[in-house]
Structure 1
Amino acid sequence: MKRSCGIYATGIISAHLLIIGIALLVAQVFPTLFEKRLKSNIVLKNGSDVFKAWENPPPPVYIQFFFFNVTNSEDILQGKKPSVTQVGPYTYREYRPRVNVTFLENGTKVAALSPKTFVFQPDMSAGDPEIDQVTTVNIPAVTVMELTKSSFTSLVIFFVMNMYGVEVFATHTVHELLWGFKDPLLSKLHYVKPDVDEYFGLMYKKNGTSDGDFVFKTGEDDYKDFGKIFTWNGQSSLKWWSSNESNMINGTDGSTFHPLISKDELLYIFAADLCRSIYIAFEKDVEVKGIPAYRFAPPSEVLAAPEVNPSNAGFCVPSGACLGAGVLKVSVCRNDAPVVVSFPHFFQADQKYIDAIEGMHPNKEDHETYLDVNPLTGFPVRGCKRAQLNIILDKYDAFPQTKLLNQTIFPIMFINESVIIDDKSAQNIRTLLLIATIVTNFPLIIVGLGVLMLCILIILLLRSRQQKKATTRDDMVYTQVAEKQEENCKSNHKENSESKMVSFISMTQIEH
Structure 2
Amino acid sequence: MILPLLEGSPIYKAWASPIHLTFKCYIFNVTNPDEIMQGSNPNLDEVGPFTYNEVLEKQIISVDDEMDEIVHTLKSTYSFNKHLSLNLSKSDKVTILNPAYIGTMSMLAGLPPDFMEKYGNSIPKLFPNRSSIFLKANPNDILFNGVKVSCNLRKFPELNLVCKTLNNNQPPVLRKTDKEDTYLLSIFQRINDTFRGPFSVNRGLKNITRLGDITSYMGKRVQTIWNSESCNTVKGTDTITWPPLIEPLPFVSTFIPELCRTVEADYVGDVSVHGLTGSRFVMKERVWLDTSQCYCLKMNNVPKCLPQGLIDMSECQKMPVILSEPHFLHGDPQLLKYAGGLSPNEETHATYIIIEPYTGTPLSGQKKTQLNLYLERQPVELLSNVSEGYFPLMWCENGNTPSLDEIAFTYQIIRLRNVLQYLSIVPLMIGIHLTFMALLYCNCTKRKIGPTFAESLLISSNSQSNNSTQRPLHA
User: TM-score, with normalisation over the residues of structure 2?
Assistant: 0.82
Structure 1: tracts of 5 or more residues without a match? 1-39, 469-512
* Structure 1 residues 128-163: Cα deviation after superposition (integer angstroms, max 9, x where no partner): 484431101011111111111253121233331465
Distance in 2, matches of 1:434 and 1:129, equals 49
SS of 1:220 mapped into structure 2: coil
The answer to whether the Cα contact below 8 Å between 1:45 and 1:107 also exists between their aligned partners in 2 is: no
Matching residue of 2:270: 285
Partner of 1:411: 392
Q: 1:362 to 1:419 in 2, by over 3 A?
A: same
Query: What CA deviation, in whole Å up to 9, does each residue of 1:95-149 have, x standing for no partner?
Result: 1121244322358221212211111111111134844311010111111111112
Q: Give the percent of matched residue pairs that are identical in Structure 1 and Structure 2.
A: 23
The question of 1:157 aligning with 2:126 is answered: no
1:490 aligned partner: none
The partner residue of 1:334 within 317, 321, 337 is 317
Q: What secondary structure sits across from 1:74 in the alignment? A: helix
Instruction: Tell me the distance in 2 between the aligned counterparts of 1:63 and 1:239.
Output: 30
CA 1:162–1:121: 2 relative to 1, 3 Å? closer
Partner of residue 14 from structure 2, selected from 53, 56, 65:
53
Counterpart of 2:6, as a letter, is K
Question: Hey, what's the Cα distance between the residues in 2 that align with 1:100 and 1:447?
Answer: 48
User: What is the match of residue 424 of structure 1?
Assistant: 405
The 1:338–1:247 alpha-carbon spacing in structure 2 relative to 1, beyond 3 Å, is: same
Q: Which one-letter code corresponds to 1:176 in the other structure?
A: D
Secondary structure of 1:277 counterpart:
strand
Partner of residue 105, structure 1 = 65
Q: Which amino acid aligns with 1:366?
A: T
Which one has the largest radius of gyration?
A: 1
The 1:163/1:298 distance shift into structure 2, 3 A limit, reads closer
The offset of 1:191, in angstroms, is 3.7
Secondary structure of the structure 2 residue equivalent to 1:435: helix
What's the counterpart of residue 272 of structure 1?
257
Residue 97 (structure 2) pairs with residue 137 (structure 1): yes
- Equivalent position to 2:87, from 114, 127, 138: 127
Counterpart residue identity of residue 73, structure 2: L
**Matches of 1:448 and 1:84, distance apart in 2:** 67
Counterpart position of 2:41: 81
1:234 matched to which residue of 2?
Answer: 219
Contact 1:214 1:229 in 2 (8 A): yes
Q: How many residues were matched structurally?
A: 423
Distance 1:351 1:118, change over 3 A: same
Q: Verify the 8 A CA contact 2:22 2:52 in the aligned structure 1.
A: yes
Assess if the C-alpha contact under 8 Å between 2:214 and 2:238 holds in 1.
Answer: yes
* Matched residue type, 1:147: M
Given that residues 186 and 196 in structure 1 are in contact (C-alpha distance below 8 angstroms), is that contact kept between their aligned partners in structure 2? no
Tell me, in whole angstroms, the C-alpha distance in 2 between the residues paired with 1:101 and 1:199.
32
SS of equivalent to 1:432:
helix
Distance 1:196 1:172, change over 3 A: farther
Q: Amino acid of the residue matched to residue 221 of structure 2?
A: S
Report Cα offsets for 1:411-455 as digits up to 9, x if no partner. Answer: 101111121122123332122112212323544332233344456
Could you say which residue in structure 1 is the equivalent of 2:3? 42
Please state whether the residue corresponding to 1:412 is helix, strand or coil: strand
AA aligned to 1:440 is Q
Alignment of 1:420-499 (within 5 A): 420-453=401-434
Alpha-carbon distance between aligned partners in 2 of 1:194 and 1:344, rounded to the nearest angstrom: 34
CA 1:261–1:254: 2 relative to 1, 3 Å:
farther
Q: How far apart are 1:313 and its partner, in Å? A: 3.1
Q: Identify the structure with the greater helix proportion.
A: 1
SS of 1:148 mapped into structure 2: helix
Question: Relative contact order, CA 8 A, sep 6+: which one is greater?
Answer: 1
Contact 1:291–1:426, Cα closer than 8 Å, also in 2: no
Contact kept, 8 Å, 1:90 with 1:129, in 2: the verdict is no
1:466 Cα offset (Å): 11
Query: 1:297 deviation in Å?
Result: 1.6
Alignment of 1:183-262 (within 5 A): 183-184=149-150, 188=159, 189-191=162-164, 194-197=167-170, 198-262=183-247
| Kept in 1: contact 2:44–2:341 (CA 8 A) | yes
Tell me: CA distance 1:238–1:182, structure 2 relative to 1, closer, same or farther (3 Å). farther
What 5-or-longer segments of structure 2 have no aligned partner?
Answer: 154-158, 171-182, 450-475
> Does the 8 Å contact 1:129/1:174 carry over to 2?
no
Q: Is residue 162 of structure 2 the alignment partner of residue 181 of structure 1?
A: no
